[in-house]
Each structure stands twice: as structure tokens, then as C-alpha cells.
A and B are shown apart, each in its own frame.
Chain A
């Protein structure tokens, strides 16, 4: 969802631990890319959590908690 859809497979392959190329891409996405403005989306509920200046807001509303 970061705009790099072609680089990462939807799920890790069975032996992903040995696949260095894959690991590099995951490392890049996890540790080298920072989302400054955007959102995190729950895959189950679709609920979006806004990200402002690099900080996601994951506080629940009254009725959600």
C-alpha cells in the first residue's frame, strides 16, 4: 500500500529467511521508509488510522473501545 506494490509479494514465500533480495526489500519498507502523512488501515475492519507528521493516531473512539 505504500506505492511499491510491484516490489513485495502479497505474502512471504515459504523460505523467505534465505531469500536475501526479499529480505532487503522488507528491510527497506520496514526500517528505511517513513510514512509522514497517510494512514494505516485495518485489513479486517477497514478502519483507517491517520498518520500525521510521522505519528499514527491509534486512539479508539468512545464507542469503539
Chain B
């Protein structure tokens, strides 16, 4: 696993925390001393495989270096709390949380009861104060903020995903993998595929997680309700924090690893019990104010507080299919090809237009062209573009601001574009399962690569292609070695399927002059 250079040294106002107790703590921000600015260590979940890309975005937009944990799909970085609005505008992250404490090498007791007791005892020793301040600050931001652009944007495209989301959920109920709670279980997942049905990475795990979490919350709730009157009294009283209102909370535990003596259910239940005891908060699995995260990945333990609404996010996936996540994956793919101002960027199999739309939003000084042969796809993409334009409408004037984006109905094998005129080709190749077929891919892939090679500028051009049919792709690529060179491969997880994103560079060799039609 890759670990980037550590964040800049803590500022004078922040001491490294030394948590009392036997648990072997790692670094975390200590309580701010008087006059020091509130800072936060933020954890972000990102599409697996794109941790590096996300870290680059964080460096670029927030100026902070990131750590990539061994628990894939997560990065950590430190920012002043006042930067929270910018943190929320990151395009490569799915969910955010503020770290309460990280333990790099937590030694769990072998005996289940002991291990769980230790987790319970941990609660009162954790440095909750500053993270809770960050959580509060985040709340006030959420109230001001309008619905996120990408959440809105994907909705028109998402109605078609209704079935897929349902299938995903159903298929994943039988997750019996001992090694990992909230695991991904590719075999159980309905295969995704094709231009329109690219799954968000991690949908399987999220569904698994959802199932786990539901159990955990009800466990916590049952725990609380099953006890005698002490809880009800606590529910009416003031919290330790001195808040007038009693907060509601839930604990979500994700656990991965072979050597734990307990399940994520048990950990969430016991940890939750201790949290309830410590803060005198009320456990509530659906209407919670505070979502406490307990992430256990082998010996790496991270306690955090969620800053994004997990349930809302998952509700999207359940009803609308891959929406928000796809946007982060699209962003990651675009970033990989390093678009420069005035670059022409083409998605020749755009489906509902996720990639070009993300492109036009984030790289407005490039020109984005989307195309597809399927009339439904084109229609939906056009609708999505309209939504984007409406959002950009200047309310003061009657003219709508345009977007550097166009859509055309075309045939990938006969693109109406001049030879060598395109800087970047970026697309989600058909997976050959839901759309197309493996046999079709066999013929389609080489033809695509040839045509994409023709339109792409020799030498400086590049392509970023997502595909699950890696074998077919590798074979097709070997036939066009005179036009494309493989520069980088990112292994990603798209809806439980192991896919790959290939970054290709266009060689200097000129394509043959086009046959007569165009």
C-alpha cells in the first residue's frame, strides 16, 4: 500500500494526543489550546483504485497532503475546520467523516468478551471534544447548503437504474463471508455491464454494509430499550457536553480481517452502549444527529463521526441506481488524463452522459463532446445536460449560460470527427454482460480502438477507458500497438465487479487517411 508523505507538522497550537489506556494509540489532533484554530483530520471514502487521484485533488484544492490507508478506498488529510465548505466540494470523494482517533496497530484481545470490553472502555478515553465541534460546524453548513449539484443532476438518468439497484440489493443478502463483515461478494452480485449500467464501485459492499448497519442499530436500540428505567431518565436529561437538547446517535461498524474474535454487530452494539452511557445520548437508528463510525481493518482502527449523510447517499443507490458514485468515478477518470485548457475531450459511448457532464462542470475550459448510437441514451444525456444548464442559469438575467458540451448521435466505428482532431478520449466501454455480449466485444473493441486512435492527436493525445472485459481489451490493445501505448492501469471495483481503467497514450504514428465517406 502506498503512503504519501505525512501532513505538514502540527501547528504550535496542537499537541499530538496521547490517549490514556492500553490500546496503543496512533497520532490524532489533540485538543486545541486556547487561541489555536480548530483543525480536523478528515477521512474520505473514494472509489477503490482512485485514492491517489483523490489525494491529488485534495492537495490541489486544499493544500493538504493525504495518507492512504491500507483499508482501501479511504484517504485521510488534515485541514483547518473553516475549510469544510471546500472539503464538501471535492469531486473525487463519496463520503466524509471527521476522525476522533486512529489506531495504527491496535492489539485486540483474543477472547471475545475481553476484546469487546476493551472497545467499550475506549469510549471515555477518546478525544471527542474537537471532532464534535467540527461536527457542529458541519451541521450549520449543511443547513445553509442547497442540494448538491451531482445529486440533483444524476436523478433523470437514474430512473432506469431502478431495477439494477433492486437486483443488487437482493443478490447481496446472502453474504456469509467470515473474513469480512460488510464485505463485497462479487459472486452474489447481479453482473452489471454496458454503457448505461456501469455500476458504482462498492455498491455491493454498501448494500452489505447497509444490512450490517441495520442490524447494529437495532441491536444498539434493543440494548438501550431492554434495560430498566435508567435510559429513559438519561434521555430526558442534559448531556455531558452541556447541550440543552439530547442528541440522537447511531454507531456504524465496518470490520474486515480474519483474526477478530467478534463481529461488526457485536462491536457496534457494545461500543454504542458505551457511547450512550458516556454522553447520555439517545440511540436512534433512523433519526440520528450523530453517526459514530467504528472502522476496523485488521489492526487499523478508526473512530470517526460522519459529516455526510450516509443514509441519504445510500437511498440514492437503492432507488436510483448508480448516481453519486458514478460521478466520483467519472471525475477520477477525467483527472487521470490531465485535461489542459482548450483540450477537446470526447466520450464516444457516453450512455447517459455522466463523464462529459462531469467534465464540463470541472474542466470548463475544455470542450466536451458526447456521443452514442442509442437514441434512449442520447435523449437521457440531453436531459441531463439540460439540467446542468438550468442549474447554471443566471437568475438575474434571462439568458442561460451555456456549457462547453455537446451531444451527437453517432456510430463509434464511423465517428464524424476529423483525423487527429481530438486530444482526449474518455469512456466506459461496454462490459458485454448487460449490454452487448462477450462475442460482440471481441469485434467491437479492436474497431473502437482503431477509430479512437484515428480521431486522437498523435503524440499528445490520450485515452482513459474503463472496462470489465480485461481479457478482450488486452487482446484488442495488442493489435493496435502501433497507435496506442499502455501508460497506466488502475484496478477499480465497479458494483462488485473487478474492472480496470486504462490510461493510454497515442503514439506519434499518424493514422491512415480516412476512407472516403467523411
Q: Which residue of A lies closest to B378 (CB)?
A: A55
Question: Is B409 touching A65 in the complex (CB atoms < 8 A)?
Answer: no
Q: Which residues of B contact A2 (CB under 8 A)?
A: none
Q: Which stretch, A4-12, A15-23, A56-64, touches the partner chain B? A: A56-64
Q: Which stretch, B5-13, B55-63, B410-418, touches the partner chain A? A: B410-418
Q: Which residue of A lies closest to B415 (CB)?
A: A58
Question: Is B402 touching A59 in the complex (CB atoms < 8 A)?
Answer: no
Q: Min CB distance, A2 to chain B, in Å?
A: 15
B409 interface neighbour in A31, A34, A55, Cβ under 8 Å: A55
B408 interface neighbour in A34, A53, A58, Cβ under 8 Å: A58
Question: Is A31 touching B414 in the complex (CB atoms < 8 A)?
Answer: no
Known interface pairs A55-B382, A60-B517; A31-B404 also in contact (CB < 8 Å): yes
Is B354 interfacial (CB 8 A cutoff)? no
Question: Is A53 touching B382 in the complex (CB atoms < 8 A)?
Answer: yes
Q: Which residues of A contact B416 (CB under 8 A)?
A: 49, 58
Q: Which residues of A contact B409 (CB under 8 A)?
A: 55-59
Q: Which residues of B contact A57 (CB under 8 A)?
A: 408-409
Complex interface residues of chain A between 31 and 48 (CB less than 8 A to chain B): 31-32, 34
Q: Min CB distance, A10 to chain B, in Å?
A: 19
Question: Is B411 touching A60 in the complex (CB atoms < 8 A)?
Answer: yes
Determine the main DSSP class of A at the interface with B. Answer: loop
Question: Is A60 touching B414 in the complex (CB atoms < 8 A)?
Answer: yes
Question: Is A56 touching B408 in the complex (CB atoms < 8 A)?
Answer: yes
Complex interface residues of chain B between 351 and 405 (CB less than 8 A to chain A): 373, 378, 382, 402, 404
Known interface pairs A31-B402, A31-B404; A54-B382 also in contact (CB < 8 Å): yes
Complex interface residues of chain B between 242 and 300 (CB less than 8 A to chain A): none
Question: Is B414 touching A55 in the complex (CB atoms < 8 A)?
Answer: no
Question: Is B382 touching A59 in the complex (CB atoms < 8 A)?
Answer: no
Q: Min CB distance, A30 to chain B, in Å?
A: 9
B517 interface neighbour in A49, A53, A59, A64, Cβ under 8 Å: A64
Q: Which residues of B contact A49 (CB under 8 A)?
A: 416
Question: Is B382 touching A58 in the complex (CB atoms < 8 A)?
Answer: no
Q: Which residues of A contact B426 (CB under 8 A)?
A: none
CA distance A35 to B204 in the complex (A): 43
Is B96 interfacial (CB 8 A cutoff)? no
CA distance A53 to B414 in the complex (A): 22
Known interface pairs A31-B402, A54-B382, A65-B414; A59-B407 also in contact (CB < 8 Å): no
Closest 5 CB pairs of A and B: A58-B416, A57-B409, A58-B410, A56-B408, A59-B411
Q: Which residues of A contact B (CB under 8 A)?
A: 31-32, 34, 49, 53-60, 64-65
